[in-house]
Amino acid sequence: MNLFRIYALTGAIAIGAASSLLWVCRRRKDPEQREILRRRRLSTEGRITDGNVVDVQEFDSDTNHSVQLVVYTYDVAGVQYQCSQDVTHLRQFLDLHSCRIGVIASVKYDPRNPADSIVVAENWCGLRI
């Protein structure tokens, strides 16, 4: 009877481990989904500070797609940060051709990690055009 209990317990552990591994693998998100969730979190929970647009770049990537970047700076607690945000998938929310270098922008950042910031999201735009 002890041998039967050992086999049953081992089988139950193996089934539990396999189902947990399958659940974790299905829940994994691709980089684009993680970026959307990051922008959504910062747009709802982030603090706002003033920043300056340093550069707006548009170039072709390796896959013959046009990539658009907004480079900006901002200060938090006496520390100056310079960041860039890929706004390629957010073209419908803003017009980069009217965005000028040196324009003041509102930047939303994570108070626990001030280097994590955005100037544009699906439901918020800090670029003053």
DSSP 58-97: EEE-TTS-EEEEEEEEEEETTEEEEEEEE-GGGGGG--GG
Coil, strand or helix at 49? strand
Going from the N-terminus, what domains does the chain have, and what CATH number goes with each?
A: 31-118 (2.40.50)
Q: How confident is the model at residue 98 (pLDDT cuts 50, 70, 90)?
A: low
pLDDT for 1:
57
For the stretch 105-121, pLDDT in tens is 899 999 999 999 999 88
**Average pLDDT value for the chain:** 84
- pTM (2 d.p.): 0.72
> In this predicted model, which residue has the larger pLDDT, 83 or 64?
83
Q: Is the pLDDT of residue 126 over 90?
A: no
| Phi/psi at 98 (5° precision) | -90, -5
